[in-house]
């Protein structure tokens, strides 16, 4: 199987690899997947006072498509409000990266990671109130 | 140095130029049908086929009359297992094999179970990948007609204790079939000393052409089987179809060269594999060997790189042609059934890479591969959330994962 150019680009030059301080209450962390399934994604967002995601970082254990999917969504969610970020669907990721059917689960995981990170952020905000 | 570097010799090998030279005349000017008895075109082709038969037989300590040419090891496995099962149905209906066998054996057994009412025992293996002889002995019943156990595993390269298995089968009067596609020409094999009754051979694993193989079928005591392919009664009725003289000549030549060069080539490959293994493990932690490192063919090294997924590692070392037990490289999304059967956890099976070394592998290539692998693993661990956990002192295998 050969790889799509966009997957290769994100794989070779991944955007926003890294870590945000998970103890910062402006940061939401989402960890999805499982080692036994062959992919684990950790997506982190930082949300500013206007409710806009001003930074996003990821680390992913997984195949090239999983790494590319997480790299892509970090680019997409930056500058978006939480509701806008939640509107991102896995099909958009799959379409942008031209993922073959066996790799669709990578895009599902990326969507789940966004949801999980936002959920974590909102939980922290509720705890503060 | 030619890129990508080929380190997938268990998948296939290039045809040795000497083998190709031997084959060429038999395509064009010497095109006769070896079965033509009425003119010199047929006679010279028959002579070439018989010479090749001797070369194949010599490599495994057999008599040339015990060699049946087939299209490859898959057909040989089918013929051996199905052929013996059908012929010996009156004697028994039970077959024993290993869970780590090649699909050519496993799928043939499944068909005999599903379509013809045979019973098959799929024995587990030890974490080393080797069969437990006591378990094998205990599995044999008075209904058992055949034991099919491979010489060398295609994924992890481990060598099964063939002489012990053969002795056991002979004592219990059960036929012993051995799929030796990965063993012939790589390790010394002797069908008499090892009490092997049927043995599958492939040409393209030993620098011969694809599309040709052989099945050894013992004459004394005689093993009888039902043919799968019917027709003109070629190969003593066991495999009909016009013999492909050029392919058979290629198989014969490949066997002859492998036999001559085995001792020196084995030493050379072992040294290269040692260098590869030590070069990688000197610079990386959390690297595990899959399968027994001693009872293994020199040309195989199967490693798991903890916290780095196999397919992404292969992408990162795209100048190196290898294969992985990762699910992401297969259509099924299941990690290697061989590694799973050896008790390798799914999370480690996803991180495995098979390095296959062969005749063209050089010291320079091995050095290049070590650098590529180390750099790639370090890069991927830097972006692995699991590696972060390990650095924080958390073992990811103790974490409750949600899965997906």
pLDDT at B140 exceeding the cut of 70: yes
Among chain A residues, CA nearest to B325: A38
Cα of A97 to nearest chain B Cα, Å: 16
**Which pLDDT band holds residue B402 (cuts at 50, 70, 90)?**
confident
Q: Which two tokens stand for residue A31?
A: 């960890």
- Nearest Cβ partner of B347 from A8, A32, A36? A36
**Which pLDDT band holds residue B401 (cuts at 50, 70, 90)?**
confident
Sort residue B45 into left (φ over 0), alpha (ψ -120 to 50) or beta: alpha
pLDDT at B404 exceeding the cut of 60: no
User: Which tens digit of pLDDT belongs to each residue from A86-109?
Assistant: 999 999 999 999 999 989 999 999
pLDDT at position B347: 84
User: Which tens digit of pLDDT belongs to each residue from B162-186?
Assistant: 999 999 999 999 999 999 999 999 9
Among chain B residues, CA nearest to A16: B383
User: Which tens digit of pLDDT belongs to each residue from B292-305?
Assistant: 999 999 999 999 99
The CB density around residue B138, as the number of other CB atoms within 10 Å, is: 10
pLDDT at B114 exceeding the cut of 70: yes
Order across the sheet with B144-148: list the strands: B67-70, B213-217, B198-202, B175-179, B144-148, B94-98, B119-123
Asked if B103 and B111 touch (Cβ cutoff 8 Å), the reply is no
Task: Answer with the residue of higher pLDDT: B223 or B398.
Answer: B223
Give chain B's largest Cα–Cα span.
80
Is B37 near chain A, with CB under 8 Å? no
What's the average model confidence in pLDDT over B67-93?
98
What percent of chain B is modeled with pLDDT above 70?
98
pLDDT at position B403: 61
User: Which tens digit of pLDDT belongs to each residue from A24-81?
Assistant: 999 999 999 999 888 999 999 999 999 999 999 999 999 999 999 999 999 999 999 9
User: Which tens digit of pLDDT belongs to each residue from B317-369?
Assistant: 999 999 987 766 555 667 899 999 999 988 888 899 999 999 999 999 999 99
pLDDT at position B29: 96
The ipTM value here is 0.94
Among residues A41, A47, A73, A106, the one annotated as catalytic is A106
The sign of the torsion formed by the CA atoms of B256, B165, B12, B378 equals: negative
User: Which tens digit of pLDDT belongs to each residue from B9-20?
Assistant: 999 999 999 999
């Amino acid at each position: 199987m050969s790889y799509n150019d966009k997957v290769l680009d994100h794989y070779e030059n991944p955007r926003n690899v890294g870590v945000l301080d998970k103890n910062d209450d402006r940061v939401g962390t989402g960890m999805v997947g499982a080692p036994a399934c062959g992919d684990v994604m950790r997506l982190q967002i930082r949300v500013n006072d206007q409710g806009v995601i001003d930074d996003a970082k990821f680390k992913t254990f997984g195949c090239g498509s999983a790494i590319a999917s997480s790299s892509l969504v970090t680019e997409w969610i930056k500058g978006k409000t939480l509701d806008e970020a939640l509107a991102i669907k896995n099909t958009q990721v799959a379409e942008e990266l031209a993922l073959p059917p066996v790799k669709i689960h990578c895009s599902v995981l990326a969507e789940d990671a966004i949801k999980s990170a936002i959920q974590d952020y909102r939980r922290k905000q509720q705890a503060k109130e | 140095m030619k890129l990508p570097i080929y380190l997938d010799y268990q998948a296939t090998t290039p045809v040795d130029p000497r083998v190709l030279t031997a084959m060429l005349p038999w395509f064009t000017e010497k095109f006769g049908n070896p079965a033509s008895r009425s003119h010199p075109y047929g006679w010279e082709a028959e002579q070439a086929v018989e010479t090749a038969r001797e070369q194949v037989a010599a490599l495994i300590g057999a008599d040339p009359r015990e060699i049946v040419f087939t299209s490859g090891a898959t057909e040989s496995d089918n013929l051996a297992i199905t052929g013996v099962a059908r012929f010996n149905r009156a004697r028994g209906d039970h077959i024993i094999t290993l869970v780590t066998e090649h699909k050519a054996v496993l799928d043939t057994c499944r068909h005999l179970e599903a379509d013809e009412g045979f019973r098959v025992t799929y024995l587990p293996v030890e974490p080393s990948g080797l069969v437990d002889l006591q378990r094998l002995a205990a599995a044999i019943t008075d209904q058992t007609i055949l034991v099919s156990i491979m010489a060398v595993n295609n994924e992890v390269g481990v060598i099964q204790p063939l002489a012990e298995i053969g002795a056991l089968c002979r004592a219990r009067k059960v036929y012993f079939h051995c799929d030796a596609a990965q063993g012939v020409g790589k390790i010394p094999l002797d069908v008499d000393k090892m009490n092997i009754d049927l043995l599958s051979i492939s040409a393209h694993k030993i620098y011969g052409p694809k599309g040709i193989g052989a099945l050894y079928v013992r004459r004394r005591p005689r093993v009888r089987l039902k043919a799968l392919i019917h027709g003109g009664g070629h190969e003593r009725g066991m495999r009909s179809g016009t013999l492909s003289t050029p392919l058979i000549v290629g198989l014969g030549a490949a066997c002859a060269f492998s036999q001559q060069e085995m001792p020196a080539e084995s030493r050379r490959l072992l040294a290269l594999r040692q260098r590869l293994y030590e070069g990688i493990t000197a610079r990386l932690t959390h690297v595990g060997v899959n399968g027994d490192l001693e009872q293994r063919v020199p040309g195989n090294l199967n490693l798991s790189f903890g916290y780095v997924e196999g397919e992404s590692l292969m992408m990162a070392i795209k100048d190196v042609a290898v294969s992985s037990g990762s699910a992401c490289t297969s259509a099924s999304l299941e990690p290697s059934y061989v590694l799973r059967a050896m008790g390798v956890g799914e999370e480690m099976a996803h991180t495995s890479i098979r390095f296959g070394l062969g005749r063209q592998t050089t010291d320079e290539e091995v050095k290049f591969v070590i650098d590529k692998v180390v750099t790639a693993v370090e890069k991927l661990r830097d972006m692995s959330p699991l590696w972060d956990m390990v650095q924080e002192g958390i073992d990811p295998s103790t974490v409750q994962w949600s899965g997906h």
